[in-house]
Amino acid sequence: MLGVLKVEDKEGEVGYLYGFSGTVGGRAVVPGFVPPIFDLTDPDGYFRRREAEISAMPAGAERKAASAELQAWIFEQYRVSNARGETLSIREVFARRGLVPPGGTGDCAAPKLLQYAYTHGLTPIAMGEFWYGSSPASEVREQGRFYPSCTGKCGPLLSFMLEGLDVAPNPLDREYTTADEPRILYEDDAVLVAVKPAGMLSVPGRTHAKSLLEWLRERFGEVHSCHRLDMDTSGVMVFARSLAAQAKLERQFAEREVEKRYRARLVAGDRPFGHARKGTIALPLLLDWHDRPRQMVDFEKGKLAVTEYEVLEELPGGEIDILFFPKTGRSHQLRVHAAHARGLGRPIKGDHLYGSADGGRLWLHAESLAFRHPVSGERLCFTDLGGLTESAAANS
């Protein structure tokens, strides 16, 4: 990742700082970019010398203990500041939250830029990080596109380093973001079928925003969740009105008996869309623990996710309207399958995690859901086609 930080000096002059994550060609110090918080690449430094000594040790408890001791030493050398003038080691920053910092913490562009600004009497004004180069095999990265800092390494670190600055709210922490009310498509004594608006949680989360499950319980009493949609995704959901009905519906989801259809719009690409009009995407997904809630493609540890798709229309500006038919129910499955280079290579419009939020809301709508009624056994299908009109997207 490359980063740019807009700063202001004590005389009010505006300038720009540039940084990169990790190293470039094995070097942490490159002319034109801010230096690292601590340089582990110094060939004469303690880290390199001790690393060589540990590498020469036979495998065993002594070597493992020496490696842990060296890692702890590293986290004490990385000392970071905030706008209040406080300075802590990375170990201390994470310890405040009861955490241990992952390896590589402090080497990303954002903390480098902020630390340079603080130690040189500069006031940070605005900052952005963007990807440069080809995408890693496991992640979704497009050259020139801006991405948020990772939650595992940079989340706790930047929370401390930004203290004392007037910063905009974190868009990933936003609460209920739509004025639209849920709509009820069907109700009986066993099930409720509702349309969730984009921006509403399916079930209670870590914020105080009201979820669709809570909204339904206020109106119908006992209601139980059977599946979920991302907060940013709109569409048809089924809920159970008893534990017995919930168990039967959840079994249908687990055994892949529920039929789901999603409508989406993919962003325009730099190259022509070279995929078939219909096809299947099969990529194994795994949670990126250092950058939750992002998912990544992992052919060793990931769980297989399968999606069928059908292209509806290629619009004059290059965007693509498409239908998705997920055969599995992995988290962020459609979003990753759309954006990843081994999938369609086109993020869903408005996807702030795997693409860009420039398109407003996430253009993904669960427009159809078919399942067996948990009591009668009758096959039911519910459809809502109004989720991705231009006016609906503009008002979300």
- Give the residue among 227, 171, 222 at the shortest CA–CA distance from 199: 171
- Phi-psi label, residue 314: left if phi above 0, alpha if psi -120 to 50, beta otherwise: beta
d(CA 330, CA 328): 6
Fill in the DSSP letter of residue 290.
G
- Give the residue among 124, 366, 182, 342 at the shortest CA–CA distance from 264: 366
d(CA 22, CA 77): 16
- Give the residue among 103, 109, 105, 102 at the shortest CA–CA distance from 30: 109
Centre a 10 Å sphere on the Cβ of residue 13 and count the other Cβ atoms it contains: 9
Catalytic residue positions, numbered? 230
Check if the beta carbon of residue 320 is closer than 8 Å to that of residue 329: no
d(CA 71, CA 73): 5
